[in-house]
Amino acid sequence: MLKVWKRAQRRRKYGEPVIVVSGLPRSGTSMMMRMLDSAGLSMMTDQERTADEDNPKGYYEYERVKDLEKESDKSWVRDARGKVLKVISHLLKDLPDENYYQVIFMRRDLDEVVASQNKMLERRGEENTLDDKATKDYYLRHLVQVRFLVRNRAHIDLIEVNYGEALAEPEDFVRKVDAFLDHELDTAAMASVVDKQLYRNRGHKLRADASS
């Protein structure tokens, strides 16, 4: 009951929430965006980044988000009120304080995140300069920082949901998201988005060293 009251207060103060889909790279954020799109929510995207081998069903990104860290005028974020905006986890701290954010934070096994990221870099002819253990340790520290950030910003609500659960139990997964957003979403349509054939890099072991 207290949560409902707090959310009502935030809506009165800030207006309609910006629904933010966030997480580490390769953690299932695009799948989450497709789910919300299928449920009929308005997406704030510009289609500049098109589907490719790494994300064959599209990225659902808004390019200007990438400049949040360096932009001084962030008033454009107001246009995302009542819509869904994808914001990578390291840019959550740069969202302006003048809006109310409901953040759906995607979690995924970190070994899988690192393996997926390595494959993406390899396809692009790039290389991760950190070994896998160092990358994983960096992500663990970053996730702690995200939780600290949310605890200290009263205009942010956050739910952590797991990519693996979405694939294993999509109906339970979408019910959690629906309850968090206080919507009567089309959960059947959301669950139908899950494509287990795209669950690659499952069960991968970390490399001891990127150069080996």
Give the chain's domains with CATH numbers.
2-191 (3.40.50.300)
State the DSSP string of 30-89.
HHHHHHHHHTTPPB-----S---SSSTT-----GGGGGTTT-S--GGGGGGTTSEEE--G
Q: Could you report the per-residue pLDDT of 8-30, keeping only the tens digit for each?
A: 888 888 889 999 999 999 899 99
Identify the helix (H) or strand (E) that includes residue 161: strand 156-162
Residue 21 bridge partners (DSSP)? 86, 104
pLDDT of residue 165: 95
Looking at per-residue confidence, does 31 or 120 come out higher? 31
Contacts of 70 (CB under 8 A, 6+ apart): none
Which spans in 89-211 are helix H? 110-123, 132-151, 163-168, 170-181, 187-192
pLDDT of residue 42: 96
Q: How many residues does the chain have?
A: 212
Residue written as token pair 């890099």: 201
Cβ contact 139:113 at 8 Å: yes
N-terminal to C-terminal alpha carbon distance within the chain: 54
Q: Could you report the per-residue pLDDT of 185-210, keeping only the tens digit for each?
A: 999 999 999 976 655 445 444 333 33
pLDDT of residue 171: 95
**Which pLDDT band holds residue 180 (cuts at 50, 70, 90)?**
very high
Distance (Å, rounded) from C-alpha 17 to C-alpha 101? 5
Distance (Å, rounded) from C-alpha 11 to C-alpha 104? 17
Distance (Å, rounded) from C-alpha 124 to C-alpha 127? 9
Distance (Å, rounded) from C-alpha 77 to C-alpha 98? 9
Distance (Å, rounded) from C-alpha 64 to C-alpha 121? 23
